[in-house]
Structure 1
Amino acid sequence: MKVIAFLTDYAAVERIINHLKLTFLAERPPPPHLAYQESLVAAETSGEYLS
């Protein structure tokens, strides 16, 4: 693979990203793994199940 060009104009890069509807921010962060495990353990011990 060869590099054939570099984009150095910040405004041009922004227009391309917006046109492609790309984003670098997550819509919402994933839930913390530890809190999810604790809620599963609590649900199992109380006899309730998460749906």
Structure 2
Amino acid sequence: MSSSDSGGLMSSAGLVRYFDAEDRNAITMDPRSVVAFGAMFGVLVLVLNAL
């Protein structure tokens, strides 16, 4: 049983490498601007519901 339990980390090593890689062509945004956009969108929805 212990031999089958030891393969879990090795089988996920490729996924860890895939998600750690950064794409240079990806769009990067500041997290504060994402939160600000979400807050403004929420306020816009509240204002439109009030009308």
Higher helix share: 2
* TM-score (normalizing by structure 1): 0.29
Query: Which structure is richer in relative contact order (CA contacts within 8 A, separation 6 or more)?
Result: 1
